[in-house]
Structure 1
Amino acid sequence: MNADLLARTQQPGFVDPELAEILRSGPPVGSLDATTNIPELRKLLRERKLAVNAAAGNPSSSLVEETDTNIRTRDNDEIRVRIYRSSRSTGLGPVMVMLHGGGWVLGDLDNEALLCRKWVDYLAALAPEHVFPTAVYDSYDAVLWIQTAKNAVSFGGDLTKGFVVAGVSAGANMTATLSHLYRDEGHAPPITGLYLSIPSLLAPEAVPDRYKESYRSRDENKDAPVLNERALKLFRNLYQDDPRSPLMSPFVFETGHENLPPTYFQVGGMDPLRDEALIYERVLREEHGIATRVDLYPGLPHGFWSWWPNAEFSKKHARDSIEGLRWLLSNRAG
């Protein structure tokens, strides 16, 4: 990890120069606690995601096929999943499972649609209704559904060519959690890589004493745009989590972090979640010898690419996302 870039990422009060100019010349930026009306928040987030998709442009629908299907979960409920496949595929290819973000409360299948479409194109050339830990187990059941060979083959997948589990924000939290469950239960084939974008990995109540000095971003960025202390409190109250459970704070899994897959991180310098990602990455790399790759974004808040999709830093994020997946596929475990 570049030491100078890391220092800038952790510099209190630093704002990316391009973002600083946007904030000076544009309208005020709200946060995800702008209202406690959950339907309104869901509408706001959906509008932002659809705007990002429109601004960035999507691969042609003739190149990427999308199919929605329902799968059965362990509580005898059903969840809807969306399957993306390249119409140009002539054989079986690697598989990626994406868990969308939204603080366990917001979001839907369109949240990470742009990334999924771009990844497919590259490879070819919610609470308060369902509280903790329902979302974790629903996500895990989706991964186990994919893990069944016949299901992967049905949409053109070969898990031995790559089995990446990805998540953004709350989705990244569940990605890290289920990677431990999958490892501990001895499933095969193995997950070959993890993609953790702006992840929540360690709630303040669960931070071990030895890491408290490095755990500063929750305080430094408590008033940051987009995601701040108030929004985090709102989401966690709705999710009704247990902060000391490894299902909420995967950093504290009693079985440790040995034999986890190579892991790619995206970390924002103005994100309250910044330091838990950096601590987790360091522990994986230094204490367990797990291959990691980190893209740092100094002076940028949580999920910045959804709010300023035309900014150069968001275009860089889009390029980094593809390179991160490329790295995972070339450094896969198993």
Structure 2
Amino acid sequence: MPDWTGAKREEIQIPARDGASLRAIVYGPGTGTPGPLLVYFHGGGMVFGMAEAFEVGAKVLTEQLGCTVVSVDYRLAPESVFPTAGNDAWDSLKWVAENASKLGADPSKGFIVSGASAGGNLAAVAAHEAADAKLSPPLTGVFLCIPFLVHPDAVPEKYKPHYNSWEENKDAMILDQRGMLWFFDQYKVDPTSPLGSPLIWPSGHKSQPPTYFQICGMDPLRDEGLIYESILREECGIATKMDVYSGIPHAGMDFLPMHSVAAKALVDMKAGVEWLLSQKP
């Protein structure tokens, strides 16, 4: 794990709507100068994972971009089923927005919600909730890494010709179709609910901020990310940036640290977040 000597790393508790308390870790540059704010949700299929999963990324963003990063430990299945994680994500984002100055951040310099895999789903859900509720301060960017965005049973008819990775990569390394179905079963996700499939959000996507994507080519989730990026860019006129790692399985940048893509994805992440920060009004 990274050495946080001289920097800020502290655990906090975030209240959820039902009275629960959500653990989160705040990472900061330790300079005392408020910088951009980024809220992060870890991956793990809504079943496993922890806030510390993003420590390497947080180190880059705090040291090199001066960000304050809040990594949230939302509640996990099977103890907490759908839509608990989605609700926790929105509750966390609202609380962080309300308490940004206490956390040492200045969201006027940039306010980004982000997540990987299942956490990408939560980031997308929270971003849409924020747009509908006109969250203040507003989000200025979204970072979605290998996100789960739509249940295979809920893919809109018009996009089905472009939704091929679910079958093409059904036997892929790290995450296969069988694994995804197991995660769905543990979380008890409702395929038709936008809280499970944010790609079908009822109010649409035109109020979304600029969005940065990282997508893996050998991932069953590949095409939902590509479809969503196309919707934002082509149908909604939203600025997007995307890095695609051809031939790499889901979360290969994390599970294959010996592969060159691990280092490249980290460099790309910094550039992607810098791009998001440059897009803010």
Q: How does 1:155-174 map to 2 (within 5 A)?
A: 155-174=103-122
1:30-83: CA deviation from partner (whole Å, max 9, x where unpaired): xxxxxxxxxxxxxxxxxxxxxxx4xxxx3x322432100112100111110100
Instruction: Find the aligned partners of 1:318 and 1:94 in 2 and give their Cα distance.
Output: 18
Corresponding residue number in structure 2 for 1:21:
none
Unpaired stretches in structure 1, ≥5 consecutive residues: 1-52
| Alignment TM-score, normalising by the size of structure 1 | 0.80
Write the distance in 2 (CA, Å) between the matches of 1:291 and 1:196: 14
Structure 1 residue 245, shift from structure 2 partner: 0.6
Decide whether the 8 Å contact of 1:206 with 1:249 is kept in 2. Answer: yes
Q: CA separation in 2, counterparts of 1:73 and 1:256?
A: 26
In angstroms, what is the RMSD of aligned CA positions?
1.2
CA distance in 2, matches of 1:268, 1:68: 31
Q: Which amino acid aligns with 1:100?
A: H
In structure 2, the partner of 1:41 is: none
* Structure 1 SS opposite 2:27: strand
Counterparts of 1:198 and 1:63, CA distance in 2:
32
Q: 2:180 is matched with which residue: 213, 227, 232? A: 232
Tell me if 1:78 matches 2:42.
no
Partner of 2:12: 69
Cα deviation per residue 1:134-157 (whole Å; 9 max; x = unaligned)?
001111111111111xx2111211
Q: CA deviation at 1:90?
A: 3.4
Structure 2: how far apart are the matches of 1:124 and 1:174? Answer: 24
* Structure 1 counterpart of 2:204, from 227, 248, 256: 256
In the aligned structure 2, how far is the partner of 1:222 from the partner of 1:119? Answer: 34
More strand by share: 2
Residues 25 and 52, structure 2, Cα contact 8 Å, conserved in 1: no
Q: Read off the aligned partner of 2:250 and give its amino acid letter.
A: H
Q: Does structure 2 retain, via aligned residues, the 8 Å contact 1:270–1:300?
A: yes
Contact 2:41/2:51, CA 8 A, preserved across alignment? no
Are the counterparts in 2 of residues 101 and 168 from structure 1 also a CA contact under 8 Å? yes
TM-score normalised by structure 2 residue count:
0.94
SS of 1:269's equivalent? Answer: strand
1:108 counterpart letter in structure 2:
M
Aligned match of 1:94? 36
Q: Residue 153 of structure 1 aligns to a residue in which SS? A: coil
Q: Which amino acid aligns with 1:137?
A: N
Q: Find the structure with the greater CA-based Rg.
A: 1
Whose helix proportion is higher, 1 or 2?
Answer: 1
The list of structure 1 runs, each at least 4 consecutive aligned residues, that deviate by more than 6 angstroms after superposition, is: none
- 1:135 matched to 2:85: yes
| Uncovered stretches (5+) of structure 2, i.e. residues with no partner | 68-75
2:123 — aligned with what? 175
> Superposition pairs for residues 190-205 of structure 1, below 5 Å?
190-205=138-153
Q: Deviations over 1:148-203 (max 9, x none)?
A: 1xx21112111111100010000000111111111111221110000000001111
Is 1:104 aligned with 2:46?
yes
Q: Distance in 1 between matches of 2:120 and 2:104?
A: 25
8 Å contact kept, 1:64–1:117:
no
* Aligned match of 2:57: 115
Q: Whose relative contact order is higher, 1 or 2, with alpha carbons under 8 Å and at least 6 apart?
A: 1
The code of the aligned residue for 2:97 comes to: Q
Amino acid at match of 2:92: A
